[in-house]
Copies of this chain bind each other. A is one copy, B any other.
Amino acid sequence: MENITEMLKGVLEGCVLEIISRGETYGYEITQHLRDLGFTDVVEGTVYTITIRLEKNNLVNIEKKKSTVGPPRKFYTLTEAGREQLDLFWEKWGFVTNKLEELKTKEMKRR
Q: Which residues of A pack against B, CB within 8 Å?
A: 1, 3-11, 15, 18-19, 22-23, 29, 32-33, 36-39, 90, 92-93, 95-100, 102-104, 108-111
Contact = CB atoms under 8 A, between A and B. Distances in A.
Chain A interface secondary structure, helix, strand, loop or mixed?
A: helix
Contacts of A29: 111
A57 to B, nearest CB: 13
Tallying the copies of this chain within the complex gives 2
B10 A100 contact: no
Nearest to A21: B108
Given A6-B10, A7-B93, A38 B99 contact: yes
Contacts of A98: 38
